[in-house]
Structure formats: structure tokens, C-alpha cells
Amino acid sequence: MSNDEIFAAAYREHYWAVSRYVARRLDGRTSEVEEVVAEVFTVAWRRRADLPGAPLPWLYGVARNCLANAVRGYGRRRRLMDRLGNDETAHGRQVVVGPDTEAPGAWVHEALARLSEADQEVLRLTAWEELGVDEVAVALGCGRRAAAMRLHRARRRLRAEIDRLRPTPTTGATATKEHHHG
């Protein structure tokens, strides 16, 4: 297959996966999602000779860079980063809210929001995009051992945050102190 055919196959096979990847990080804002996805495949077209045999993790890496450039280019970096990492409404939509308004796993999303953007991204690549460590390494542009270590540390930090936030029968009113955001 020529590079053009390889690109065409990657585009057909992975367009929606890349779109979902971008949409999750831009909270589904359709016009911006389409713009970033178009940029991802423009870059992939220009670099079609570099497309690996399993192109999806590589495309996720390109998408990460395009998202970062878009955020800088739009001049709204802080606002978008807040939406990507700390906006509770973005996380709330991923949780089924029970009749008592306390979603069963709401504190998991709160714990995730407390992690660094790098920790959030490595966890999202494995949970949302369902990548293995080798694929995470490609998407992050690092070696396999570095990816495995980042994932291990991110999971450990998430567990620590969950343990800190998880409602238990003995915490009572002390758990509400943490909810004061400056």
C-alpha cells in the first residue's frame, strides 16, 4: 500500500475514535472539536510517511499536540484547562445521579479533578481510550517504562485522593471542609 492508501485507511478506521478523544477533552463543543480533528488529520496527511502500522495511539499523540496548540491559539488556555480538569459539570455528566443527588461515584470524579493534568491524561488514555501501556507510550511520546511508571504513579495518586474523599460512616461533617474552593 502507498502512503496515501495507508493514510486513507487510517482516516476511515480511526476518524470517530479521534473525534471522541478530542470531544471528551473539549467537553463536546462541536465547532472546536471539528476544527481540532481536522487539524489532527491535516498533520497526519503531511506526515503520512511516518504513520505506524497501528496508527491510533500515534493519532492520539498528534491530537494531544493539536489540542495544546488550539488552546494556546484561542487565547483561552486557562478557561479550557479548567473545563478539561476542574469543571464539575463536565465530570457530572459522566456519572448517573441518584435521587438523593449524591452520585454514587461523584467523589471519584472529584478525586480525578484534583490530580495534575498529566496524571489525568494518562488515566484517561487507559480508561477512556482503552490503550495499553505500549500504546500510551506512543500517545505520550515517551518510552514504555516511562509510560508504565507514569500510569502507576497516577493510579496511586488517584487512589490516595479517592481514599481522602470517599464518604465513610465515620467521617460525618469533617468531609465538607474540603469543598471550599478559592
Q: How far apart are CA 126 and CA 10, in angstroms?
A: 21
State whether CATH 3.90.105.10 applies to domain 86-168. no
Q: What is the pLDDT of residues 136-164, one digit of tens each?
A: 999 999 999 999 999 999 989 988 887 78
DSSP 61: H
Topology match between the domains 1-84 and 86-168 = no
CATH annotation of 1-84: 1.10.1740
Note the pLDDT of residue 85. 57
Residue 55 above 50 pLDDT?
Answer: yes
Contact 22, 37 (CB under 8 A): yes
| Tens digits of residue pLDDT in 86-133 | 444 444 444 343 334 445 456 667 888 888 999 999 988 888 888 889
Q: How confident is the model at residue 73 (pLDDT cuts 50, 70, 90)?
A: low
* Number of residues that this document lists for the chain: 182
* Residue type for position 28: G
Helix (H) / strand (E) element for 155: namely helix 144-165
Per-domain boundaries in the chain: 1-84, 86-168
pLDDT at 159: 84
Residue 62 — pLDDT band, cuts 50, 70, 90?
A: very high
| Predicted TM-score of the model (pTM) | 0.60
- Computed over every residue of the chain, the mean pLDDT equals 77
Instruction: Look at 2-6, 57-61, 73-77, 87-91 and tell me which has the smallest mean pLDDT.
Output: 87-91
Would the pLDDT of 171 be above 50?
Answer: no
Quickly count helices (H) and strands (E) in the chain. Answer: 9, 0
Q: Identify the burial level of 38 via C-beta atoms within 10 angstroms of its C-beta, where 0-12 means exposed, 13-18 middle and 19 or more buried.
A: exposed
